[in-house]
Amino acid sequence: MSDRHEHAHLPDTVLRVKALESLLVEKGLVDPAALDTLIETYEHKVGPRNGSRVVARAWSDPDFKQRLLRNASAAIAELGFTGRQGEDMVVLENSEKVHNMVVCTLCSCYPWPVLGLPPVWYKSAPYRARAVIDPRGVLKEFGVELPETTEIRVWDSTAEVRYLVLPMRPRDSEGMDEEALAELVTRDSMIGTGLPLSPSQVPSSK
Amino acid sequence: MPNRTDLEALPDIPMDDDGPVFREPWEAQAFAMTLELHQQGRFSWPEWARYLHQEIDKAKQSGDPDLGDTYYQHWLAALENICVDKKITSGEALAERKEAWDRAARSTPHGEPIELDRAIRRGEFDK
């Protein structure tokens, strides 16, 4: 079911949760910050970190990567992950020349089947506004400094298209298998606000 | 945070080895609100389990095959019920506010944050 009007149309359950939450917050019964903290605890439990497996497969299987870049929804479905509304996924490949970064303030536009829950900051209006105007500055705040020669492209999710960033494979990750590679893929690296971990940053005991 | 025993006291909550799992963000939000209210002593955990049980039983009786995918719909209904029964809010307030969010969402161009109109909120909803 696509929304041709490009206006948000939230499902019944989402509206009910928002209604209850806004009433509880106004009455001072729940603190939005406390809710966010609690939700962050479970962040990785939503749509378990499927995206990292997609990225790890693309890093280790060039044929899969080609299919992924050509038709992301179909390639992601090969791994058994599908969105519920049949929204189209588009994968954006990072390179030395281009760094992709995704924004959208509507939680309904976030590809949670592959990325899990959106981080709290992602939903904030200032993030979206600033990401468009000053992407390099925003990235710097996330601790990501890219060479001046790297072009930064900012993508705004639409009602029909959800983006997933394919980060560059870390240099010192040769010889690692898919499972080990998946450990290097952070959520932020798939939104484009972070880089994958280097193998030395991953604790040896799982 | 409730411990594992608390969570296991609830009917068939979807869990893996590390704890509860959610299918969509709103499910985690409903879960988090319930925990917050419980921690503030608005209701006890056994009381909550009873409300949840009631909703699930009701759904089963009306033909829900109960495959787990509707779990948080029952959770949300139970949370609304307990909030109304505890006079935390009313059914009318919930319905009005839901309608307001729906209006806000429909009138928000894609990509803008959805916000309740402050004037509407003050006029219609504040006590």
What is the CATH classification number for the domain harbouring A136?
A: 3.90.330.10
The domain containing residue B115 runs over which residues?
Answer: 91-127
Give the nearest chain B residue to A102 (CA atoms).
B111
pLDDT at A107: 45
Inside any domain, residue A98: yes
Across the interface, whether the CB atoms of B110 and A31 are under 8 A apart is answered no
Nearest Cα residue to B24 out of A193, A38, A83: A83
Question: Do residues A127 and A86 both lie within one domain?
Answer: yes
Question: Do residues A179 and A114 both lie within one domain?
Answer: yes
Question: Do residues B80 and B40 both lie within one domain?
Answer: yes
Inside any domain, residue A24: yes
The residue annotated as part of the active site, out of A2, A22, A60, A104, is A104
pLDDT at A193: 87
Across the interface, whether the CB atoms of A7 and B107 are under 8 A apart is answered yes
Question: Do residues A147 and A179 both lie within one domain?
Answer: yes
Across the interface, whether the CB atoms of B111 and A104 are under 8 A apart is answered yes
Question: Do residues B7 and B61 both lie within one domain?
Answer: yes
Question: Do residues A21 and A73 both lie within one domain?
Answer: no
pLDDT at B119: 39
Question: Do residues B80 and B118 both lie within one domain?
Answer: no
Question: Do residues B48 and B106 both lie within one domain?
Answer: no
Chain A contact for B106 (CB, 8 A cutoff): yes
On the question of pLDDT at A32 being above 80, the answer is yes
Across the interface, whether the CB atoms of A38 and B36 are under 8 A apart is answered yes
Of B16, B19, B76, Cβ closest to residue A17: B76
Question: Do residues B71 and B10 both lie within one domain?
Answer: yes
On the question of pLDDT at A117 being above 80, the answer is no
At which residue do the structure tokens 């806000």 appear? B104
User: Average pLDDT in the A7-31 region?
Assistant: 88
pLDDT at B124: 46
pLDDT at B68: 64
Q: What is the pLDDT of residues B19-61, one digit of tens each?
A: 667 777 788 889 889 988 988 899 988 899 899 989 988 988 8
Question: Do residues B84 and B108 both lie within one domain?
Answer: no
User: Average pLDDT in the A87-112 region?
Assistant: 78
pLDDT at A121: 64
Q: How confident is the model at residue A86 (pLDDT cuts 50, 70, 90)?
A: very low
User: What letter represents residue B58's amino acid?
Assistant: K
Question: Do residues A18 and A83 both lie within one domain?
Answer: no
Q: How many CB pairs under 8 A join A and B?
A: 147
Q: Choosing among A6, A37, A38, which should be mutated to test the B contact, i.e. which has the most B CBs within 10 A?
A: A38
Across the interface, whether the CB atoms of B32 and A39 are under 8 A apart is answered yes
- Cβ–Cβ contacts within 10 Å for residue B98, how many? 21
Question: Do residues A152 and A129 both lie within one domain?
Answer: yes
Inside any domain, residue A202: no
Q: What is the pLDDT of residues A133-174, one digit of tens each?
A: 889 998 998 889 999 999 999 987 765 678 889 999 999 999
Inside any domain, residue A2: no
Question: B98 near A2, Cβ under 8 Å?
Answer: no
Number of domains in chain B: 2
Give the nearest chain A residue to B22 (CA atoms).
A46
Q: A35 or A44: which carries more pLDDT confidence?
A: A35
Q: How far apart are CA A84 and CA A71, in angstroms?
A: 17
Q: What percent of chain B has pLDDT over 90?
A: 31
List chain B residues with CB under 8 Å of A9: 105-106
pLDDT at A108: 47
User: What letter represents residue B66's amino acid?
Assistant: D
At which residue do the structure tokens 């790297």 appear? A150
pLDDT at A69: 96
Most confident of A29-38, A117-126, A143-152: A143-152
Question: Do residues A117 and A92 both lie within one domain?
Answer: yes
Q: How far is A59 from chain B (nearest CA, A)?
A: 27
Nearest Cα residue to A122 out of A146, A143, A101, A136: A101
Q: Is the dihedral of CA B70, B72, B76, B78 positive or negative?
A: positive
Across the interface, whether the CB atoms of A128 and B16 are under 8 A apart is answered no
User: What letter represents residue A36's amino acid?
Assistant: D
The domain containing residue A25 runs over which residues?
Answer: 10-45
Number of domains in chain A: 2
User: Average pLDDT in the A21-36 region?
Assistant: 89
User: Average pLDDT in the A102-108 region?
Assistant: 60
A157 in catalytic set: no
Q: A38 or B112: which carries more pLDDT confidence?
A: A38
pLDDT at A4: 42
Q: What is the pLDDT of residues A57-85, one digit of tens each?
A: 999 999 999 999 999 988 988 887 765 44
Question: Do residues B81 and B111 both lie within one domain?
Answer: no
At which residue do the structure tokens 């050509």 appear? A70
pLDDT at A20: 96
Question: Do residues A67 and A162 both lie within one domain?
Answer: yes
Question: Do residues B11 and B61 both lie within one domain?
Answer: yes
Inside any domain, residue A173: yes
Q: What is the pLDDT of residues B61-71, one digit of tens each?
A: 888 776 667 88
Question: Do residues A35 and A104 both lie within one domain?
Answer: no
Question: Do residues B104 and B56 both lie within one domain?
Answer: no
- Per-residue b or e along A38-47, where b marks 16 or more CB atoms closer than 10 Å to that residue's CB: bbeebbebbb
